[in-house]
Amino acid sequence: MNCRIFSLFILSLTLIPLSASFAQEISQETQTVHKWKMTTSWPGGNMLKGAQSFADHVRHTTDGRVDIKVFPGGGLGNPLKVTETVSNGVAEIGHTWPGYDWGKDKTVVLFGGWAGGMDAEQTFHWLYEAGGQELHQEFRKEKFNLHVFAVGVAPTEVFLHSQKPVRTLDDLKGLKIRTTGAWLEISKNLGASPVTSAASEIYQMLERGVIDAAEGASPSVNLPLGFHKTAPYVIIPGLHQPTTVMEVVINQEAWDRLSKHDQLMIEIAAKLASFEYWTHIGYDDLHAMQAFRDNKNEIIELDDTVKAEAKHHAREWGNKVANENDWFAKVLKHQRDFQTLWESGESYRNVR
């Protein structure tokens, strides 16, 4: 018995310095300061403010150990190629819309919001409760070697700021529109003539008559960009984009250098920023719509026929791409299964 007690005593003496060493290692890890540069897709406005808000939350939750300097679109690289800038190490982190990587893998539009997708409320539940965030991270790491979080879930967009009134399918035929992502292809099936560009180029394209109409984002994001000043018609609802999900992409090596604690703090900051963005933009959109009315813009609601045709063509487009892309098929099925589950609860959720 005495021999056993002596052995335990010796073991405890061995573990004490090991424990102290481990604690010291953790302490040193959490005291390391990481100064990161963030490249973005945004020239200014609410989206850039959203990126800065996230950076502020990260600084606070990590007690300053992760310090992010935010650069407006073009400051560190092409605003439509944020993932390349981050992958190449020019910036450790970026804030963008997934759909800008459309040319590399069309799966990105499923994470960024698209015509056949979910609204903001559904998206929150899918991301944070139904496994959407984990699927997003798995995809970005496998295909791009980036770590990712959703940072900014926005309400429904304006369908078009237009030089011409648009109500019917006939009005869409031949209409030159600026758009991005899946709508580049889906809108062609409705008769439109789409092109794409950076958001910073939309105003001049409208003003010069290069395009007839443009979609940008939700009302309050578009307002400071002045689209309503050169295009008298505001077309709603944004059936091409029931919600928009922005993302933060992080260089994998930079992410791996962080402590587990700080990684968790960044995850918490991302979730908080997404929720804040939703409520902030949603509230500001109410005032932006009133600003359009005050400016004497004519607000036009699309005919039900346009909505039905858009939904049909979006579903057909999704099926087609799924047949060609395994990752797209995997995410699309995951989202559609969730949408079916969500629809099963509509009877008890709808109180109107």
Handedness of CA 220, 225, 226, 232 (dihedral sign): negative
pLDDT of residue 28: 55
The predicted model scores a pTM of 0.85
User: What percent of the chain is modeled with pLDDT above 90?
Assistant: 79
Would you say domain 160-242+296-344 falls under CATH 2.40.50.140?
no
| Angle ∠(189,194,195) on CA atoms, nearest 5 | 150
Alpha-carbon span 297 to 8, nearest angstrom:
82
Mean pLDDT of the chain: 90
pLDDT at residue 9 above 50?
Answer: no
Express each pLDDT in 228-281 by its tens digit.
Answer: 999 999 999 999 999 999 999 999 999 999 999 999 999 999 999 999 999 999
- Same topology, domains 34-156+243-283 and 160-242+296-344? Answer is yes
Domain ranges of the chain: 34-156+243-283, 160-242+296-344
Whether 150 contacts 278, CB under 8 Å: no
For domain 34-156+243-283, give the CATH superfamily: Bacterial extracellular solute-binding protein, family 7 (3.40.190.170)
Count of alpha carbons within 13 angstroms of residue 34, beta-carbon side: 27
Number of helices (H), then strands (E), in the chain? 16, 11
Express each pLDDT in 102-115 by its tens digit.
Answer: 889 999 999 999 99
Residue the block writes with tokens 């809108």: 187
User: What percent of the chain is modeled with pLDDT above 70?
Assistant: 91
Whether 199 contacts 42, CB under 8 Å: yes
**In Å, how far are 21, 93, 141, 171, 303 from 84, measured between CA atoms?**
39, 11, 14, 38, 40
pLDDT at residue 94 above 60?
Answer: yes
Q: How many CB atoms lie within 10 A of CB 43?
A: 18
Tokens of 162: 């237009």
